[in-house]
Amino acid sequence: EIVLTQSPGTLSLSPGERATLSCRASQSVSSNYLSWYQQKPGQAPRLLIYGASRRATGIPDRVSGGGSGTDFTLTISRLEPEDFAVYYCQQYGSTPSTFGQGTKLEIK
């Protein structure tokens, strides 16, 4: 199975700053079938990005995804208070689908 490793484990930033989260795969992700989710305490995950770089419905354009093959990034250009949460990447190009261990984005 494809192992996804996210870094950093925790990212401490201030509102207005830029956040860059990384997701590295143990082998190439088929067709760049890589998604990103945001999860807040007590809530279900929310889809942000699919196909490595496509924004899901309702996601603002300050959120962007990039990368291909084995290296992917999620960038939030100007952090808003509601952006502080845990973020997961997921590959769905091969079975079993797998998730990264998560990056916690916290307020500095």
Partner 1 sequence: EVQLVQSGTEVKTPGATVRISCKVSGYSFTDYYMNWVQQAPGKGLQWMGLVDPDDGVTIYADKFRGRISITADKSTQTIYLELTSPRSEDTAVYYCAAPMEPLVRGSAFQHWGQGTLVIVSS
Quick one: which segment of 12-20, 64-72, 75-83, 86-94 binds partner 1 (CB under 8 A)?
86-94
Task: Pick between residue 6 and residue 76 the one whose CB is nearest to partner 1.
Answer: 6
Total length of the chain = 108
26 contact partners, CB below 8 Å, separation of at least 6: 2, 3, 4, 5, 70
Closer to partner 1 by Cβ: residue 17 or 68: 68
DSSP 8-state secondary structure symbol assigned to residue 29: P
Contacts to partner 1 by CB under 8 A: 1, 30, 33, 35, 37, 44-47, 50-51, 56-57, 88, 90, 92-102
